[in-house]
């Protein structure tokens, strides 16, 4: 899927672009800029997709299961710019993307803590 499909899909979800028409160059550019900003900002939400700026004709870099969620998240983000309030809540998509990219680092315990049960404390 092309980035163009993500951008146009988001614009359609908020009613800026009709199903049978294309976005104007200005609409597409504004939405693309928001998409790039949003995907860079995901790192603050612990979603590190190693994002580099995309162009409309680039292939969307995430797996197919993230495409619909990205459209909804982008639509919500750009709805104020286009004065077209979103009538949906995309938070569930953000949580699902977070869960997919969640990395739990292995925990290393101090040896003194791991040997706690082996000591004799009879004198205390």
Higher pLDDT, 46 or 79: 79
pLDDT surpassing 80 at residue 119: no
What tens digit of pLDDT does each residue of 84-114 get? 888 888 888 998 998 898 878 888 888 777 7
Cα dihedral: 44, 46, 51, 56 (round 10): -80
Determine the Cα–Cα distance for residues 17 and 2; give it in Å rounded to an integer.
17
Q: Which of 55, 20, 21, 63 is nearest to 35 (CA)?
A: 55
What tens digit of pLDDT does each residue of 26-38 get? 999 999 999 999 9
pTM: 0.79
Determine the Cα–Cα distance for residues 42 and 61; give it in Å rounded to an integer.
14
């Amino acid at each position: 899927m092309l980035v163009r499909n993500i951008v146009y899909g988001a614009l359609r979800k908020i009613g800026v672009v009709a199903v049978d028409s294309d976005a104007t160059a200005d609409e597409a550019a504004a939405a693309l800029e928001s998409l790039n900003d949003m995907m860079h900002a995901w790192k603050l939400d612990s979603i590190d997709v190693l994002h580099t700026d995309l162009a409309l004709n680039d292939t969307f870099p995430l797996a197919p299961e993230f495409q619909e969620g990205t459209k909804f998240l982008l639509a919500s983000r750009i709805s104020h710019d286009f004065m077209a309030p979103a009538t949906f809540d995309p938070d569930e998509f953000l949580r699902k993307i977070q869960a997919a990219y969640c990395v739990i680092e292995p925990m290393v315990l101090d040896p003194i803590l791991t040997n706690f049960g082996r000591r004799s404390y009879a004198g205390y």
